[in-house]
Amino acid sequence: MTPEPERVMVRRALPFGIPAIAAALLIGWGFGGWNVGWSAALGVAIVLANFAVHGLSLSRAARISLTVLFAVAVGGFVVRMAAIVGIMVLLNRLAFFSPLGFVLAVVPTTLLLIGFEMKLLAGRVEADSWTFPAGPERMSR
């Protein structure tokens, strides 16, 4: 049995999580102090957790049907972005939190993970996944 590509995608991305969080912390600290650093690190951690949930939900949806997979992929993106904004609003109540540091870490991390996902999954759609119901034969004129 071949591993599900969505789970493989998550397993390949997560080892870069700790170094990415550390880099965000140090870069944020270098540009604006510890508050900005911690905010940036939180942003990267939240995007990585969001990415893992996305990959696992795609994996589950793919086992159900292509329609559910499409709904989870498209609808899930909107829900995931809304979750990140909601978390940012909640974190903004904390004294140390820097919304600018958070956003400046979230945006490039999200773009990098989307690029990683596209590169990893490109060309992985199998022809066997596409089935079309048999329809009435066309009558020729």
In the chain, which ranges are E strands?
none
The pLDDT value recorded for residue 4 is: 79
Q: For the whole model, what pTM was predicted?
A: 0.79
* Mean pLDDT computed over every residue of the chain: 85
- The mean pLDDT of 19-33, rounded to a whole number, is 95
Query: What's the mean pLDDT in 65-90?
Result: 90
Q: CA 59 to CA 49: how far, in whole Å?
A: 15
pLDDT at 140 over 60: no
Two tokens at 5? 């590509």
Q: Give the Cα separation of 107 and 85 in Å (integer).
A: 11
Rounded mean pLDDT, 98-122: 89
Residue 81 Cα distances to 57, 89, 111, 123, angstroms: 15, 13, 12, 26
